[in-house]
A = this chain, B = another copy of it.
């Protein structure tokens, strides 16, 4: 397949690019280094400094003999994106090209505007590049479980049949997210669903939970191929942050009472899910929504597991509660369906102690680079 990966320099975009190239697909990875720029601006650099996308591609080529074509363009520039789509003729576009941080999007007007403009304009341009230059292309869009928020009913996979006053219809499952970043993904979904039903696009929306981990088959070949591992309060996901705190000898910081429950998955399962979604395209005029996570945990449960794994390595891990900087429920109902990807063949890698220990060992190798000042919450919207 011709695979176009937008946001190919990202935490997931780069491992995805390597995976598809390793499986023999013709991969083009697109990025404009927005996340690198924002990480620098907010003093939220990743734990392990990573070569840029062109360098990564060259290192990967040296290690494997495989090509990853790189295009450094801004996807909010419709002409530039059109040119790449025309040239690449993708069978599938994997769309990660969004400002990915909730806290960043809640910092103030400038950050909100940058998030809003980048994410919406990119999605709009992807739709139109496909309409104009690759109408049969399957768009695989990374959504987020965060779009659903924490409703008081079971979360289904994207759709809900509603019976009301004796009549029935099926609608997108209600979405009400907790940050502007997550809200831009709600808007993305609305926009994609409009163009799917009106112009017959083919779209898979992967509603992903927070991802953890840094080791994948491809990144284990050369340390310089590791993903951008963020542990800061802005770009880091909760479990990655806890693991770094455990190694740094500082308490794991639980926001509020720690009952916030979400669905999580290992980065290696993200890669499986992307392969499954891309390998099984949907029909024209269909929006397929898949909830992409493998296990539900509360923040307290995550902290306990990290503490246990860390203590087994002699790290003496402690847990501390902080006033919650976020506006969110700390105790709520949460039960989300996630059968779709398992039915398609996903074999989950669960959050067991060996997995946590392996991650801790990688972080221990880089422990001198941990900057503790980046970990405590610097953005609040309570």
Contacts and interface: CB of A to CB of B under 8 A. Distances in A.
Contacts of A190: 175, 183, 186-187, 190
A343 interface: no
A167 interface: yes
A208 to B, nearest CB: 19
Contact of A164 (B109, B117, B160): B160
Contacts of A120: 116, 120, 187
Interface in A172-212: 172, 174-178, 180, 183, 186-187, 190-191, 193-194, 197-199
A103 to B, nearest CB: 13
A113 B154 contact: no
A381 interface: yes
Contacts of A174: 162, 169, 171-172, 174
Contact of A154 (B132, B164, B171, B191): B164
A177 B174 CA distance: 15
Nearest to A171: B174
Nearest to A156: B164
A112 interface: yes
A164 B153 contact: yes
A23 interface: no
Contacts of A297: none
Nearest to A382: B198
Nearest to A117: B121
A323 interface: no
A165 interface: yes
A333 B178 CA distance: 34
Interface string A111-147: 0110011001100100010011000000000000000
Interface in A85-131: 109, 112-113, 116-117, 120-121, 124, 128, 131
Interface of A: 78, 109, 112-113, 116-117, 120-121, 124, 128, 131-132, 151-154, 160, 162-165, 167-169, 171-172, 174-178, 180, 183, 186-187, 190-191, 193-194, 197-199, 327, 333, 381
Sorted nearest first, the 7 A-B pairs with minimum C-beta distance are A171-B174, A152-B169, A153-B164, A183-B194, A153-B167, A187-B187, A151-B169
21 contacts: A116-B120, A116-B124, A117-B121, A120-B187, A151-B171, A152-B167, A153-B165, A153-B167, A153-B168, A154-B165, A154-B167, A162-B174, A171-B176, A172-B176, A176-B194, A183-B190, A186-B190, A186-B194, A190-B190, A198-B327, A198-B381
Given A120-B187, A153-B165, A198-B327, 18 more contacts: A109-B132, A116-B120, A151-B169, A152-B168, A152-B169, A153-B163, A153-B168, A154-B165, A169-B174, A171-B176, A172-B176, A174-B174, A176-B193, A176-B197, A177-B194, A183-B194, A187-B190, A190-B190
